[in-house]
């Protein structure tokens, strides 16, 4: 007698550990196979863009913390760079160096969070604990500099909220030394682990053309073989004067744009960020980081679109100024929003467990998807 089968509708989330926040996936399954997976977003929508229209430019900065709450420094950075471009402000070298140090440390912390939660999704608990041990050290540095552990509100239009505290350079150096050794251990445990490779190789492949067409950015795009990084190719701040490599999926890092390539690209970016922090620390000129900071700024009438490189990809700010102290429109092009839009396209006819691996490799933060 033939066995009668029918498709089952499975709800993953909005409250589920593997969805990394309040994301709901409407999954149709045929046994162990996923036939379609449709994401539903918006559970964390809090109308940031509407609210920004009622605030002055400096007042918006703490709200940008809450977009991608795992890389608040980078969000601050993108927003102040956009307003500074609109106004034509130049910031002193000292402030720019400290900005890059904090942004790159935050990139490391964010990628550590990715490795931790990604390995957790795959069923490995140890890397999660190891990554959080190192992330904690970065949070301590941020706490000392900005006063907060997660939402820093540290950048200002024209400079920074506060200068470095005395002796913080030594603390950053000693963290970096210890951290590099820890990363080598992590490579032994996870990066070159045969089980991990077997689990991730060839899963969730995104070809180069698809990656570009869906507007992917950051590690997602580079894993698919597109050699592009805003910091190098459309440089802002002082990135043009720093030396670093852009890891791209290809010969060395898993050729396919699969989950493993996305992991490797992020892992390699951590090393580059360490090098960037060292370069900036080596030579911080004296200066007043608050020199240019004004409480109220009033950009001229106009509009700009500025993109900067966040850990998750390009964060873009489309600002329209009507000449008053408050913006007429702030649109955030959130990297996770675009990266997530490809998800239902690549989650067809795959195993349920692989769907979780793919979702983990996209590395979403719902705070910026829903805004």
Partner 1 sequence: MDALAIATMVKDVFGGAVLAVDQPEVEPVAVIEPANVAEVARFLRETPELAFDYLMCLSGFDTMPTEEDHPARNTPEEDTGAPSTETAAPALGVAYHLFSYSHSHRFAFKAHTPRENPHIPSVAEIWPAADWHEREAFDLFGIIFDGHPDLRRILLPEDWVGHPLRKDYAAQESYRIGDACAQIARGW
How far apart (Å, rounded) are the C-alpha atoms in residues 7 and 186? 40
Query: Is residue 49 near partner 1 by the rule CB under 8 A?
Result: yes
Nearer to partner 1, 118 or 337 (CB): 337
**Using a CB cutoff of 8 Å and minimum separation of 24, what contacts does 9-15 make?**
14/40, 14/43
Check residue 371 for interaction with partner 1 (CB under 8 A): yes
Tell whether residue 323 is a contact of partner 1 (CB under 8 A): yes
Nearer residue to partner 1 within complex by CB, 94 or 307 = 307
Q: Which range binds partner 1 by CB under 8 A, 16-24, 190-198, 327-335, 357-365?
A: 327-335
Q: Which of residues 51-110 bind partner 1 (CB under 8 A)?
A: 53, 88
Residue selected from 15, 245, 303, 348 as contacting partner 1 according to rule CB under 8 A: 303
* Residue of the chain from 14, 151, 326, 352 that contacts partner 1 (CB under 8 A): 326
- With binding defined as CB under 8 A, does residue 226 bind partner 1? yes
Contacts (CB under 8 A) with partner 1, residues 345-364 = 345
Contact 111, 269 (CB under 8 A): yes
Phi first, then psi: what are they for 11, rounded to 5°? Answer: -100, 115
Q: How far is CA 246 from the centre of its chain?
A: 15
| Backbone dihedral region for residue 36 (phi beyond 0: left; psi -120 to 50: alpha; all else: beta) | beta
How many Å apart are CA 214 and CA 23, to the nearest integer? 20
Interface with partner 1 (CB under 8 A), residue from 168, 197, 325, 352? 325
Q: Which of 318, 351, 352, 353 binds partner 1 (CB under 8 A)?
A: 318
Distance in angstroms between the alpha carbons of the first and the last residue of the chain: 53
Q: How far is CA 322 from the centre of its chain?
A: 30
Judged by CB under 8 A, the chain residues 228 through 247 that form the site for partner 1 are: 228, 233
By CB under 8 A, residue 328 contacts partner 1: yes
DSSP string, 66-98: TTSTT-HHHHHHHHHHHHHHHHT----HHHHHH
Distance (Å, whole) CA 295 – CA 56 = 9
Residue 295 binds to partner 1 (criterion: CB under 8 A): no
Interacting residue ranges for partner 1, rule: CB under 8 A: 41-42, 45, 47, 49-50, 53, 88, 212-215, 226, 228, 233, 298, 300-305, 307, 314, 316, 318, 320, 322-326, 328-329, 331, 333, 337-338, 341, 345, 370-371
């Amino acid at each position: 007698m033939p066995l009668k089968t029918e498709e089952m509708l499975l709800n993953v989330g909005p409250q589920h550990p593997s969805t990394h926040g309040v994301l709901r996936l409407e999954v149709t399954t045929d046994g162990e196979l996923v036939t379609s997976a449709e994401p539903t977003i918006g559970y964390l929508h809090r109308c940031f863009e509407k609210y920004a229209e009622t605030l002055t430019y400096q007042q918006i900065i703490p709200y940008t913390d809450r977009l991608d709450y795992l890389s608040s420094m980078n969000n601050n950075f993108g927003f102040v760079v956009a307003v500074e471009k609109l106004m034509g402000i130049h910031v002193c070298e000292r402030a720019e160096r400290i900005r890059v140090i904090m942004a790159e440390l935050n990139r490391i912390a964010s990628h550590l969070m990715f490795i931790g939660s990604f390995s957790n999704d795959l069923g490995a608990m140890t890397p999660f604990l190891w990554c959080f041990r190192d992330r904690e050290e970065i949070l301590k540095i941020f706490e000392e500099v900005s006063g907060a552990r997660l939402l820093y509100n540290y950048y200002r239009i024209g400079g920074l909220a506060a200068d470095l505290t005395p002796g913080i350079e030594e603390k950053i150096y000693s963290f970096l030394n210890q951290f590099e050794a820890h990363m080598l251990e992590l490579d032994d445990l996870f990066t070159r682990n045969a089980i991990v490779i077997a689990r991730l190789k060839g899963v969730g492949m995104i070809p180069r053309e698809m990656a570009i067409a869906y507007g992917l950015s950051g590690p997602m795009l580079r894993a698919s073989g597109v050699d592009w990084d805003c910091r190098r190719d459309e440089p802002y701040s002082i990135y043009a004067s720093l030396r670093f490599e852009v890891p791209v999926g290809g010969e060395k890092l898993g050729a396919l744009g699969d989950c493993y390539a996305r992991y490797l690209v992020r892992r390699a970016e951590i090393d580059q960020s360490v090098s960037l922090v060292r370069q900036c620390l080596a030579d911080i000129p004296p200066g007043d980081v608050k020199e240019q900071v004004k409480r109220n700024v009033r950009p001229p009438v106009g509009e700009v679109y500025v993109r900067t490189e966040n850990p998750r990809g390009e964060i873009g700010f489309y600002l329209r100024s009507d000449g008053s102290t408050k913006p007429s429109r702030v649109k955030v092009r959130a990297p996770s929003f675009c990266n997530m839009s490809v998800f239902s396209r690549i989650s067809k006819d795959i195993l349920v467990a692989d769907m979780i691996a793919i979702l983990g490799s996209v590395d979403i933060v719902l705070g910026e998807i829903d805004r």
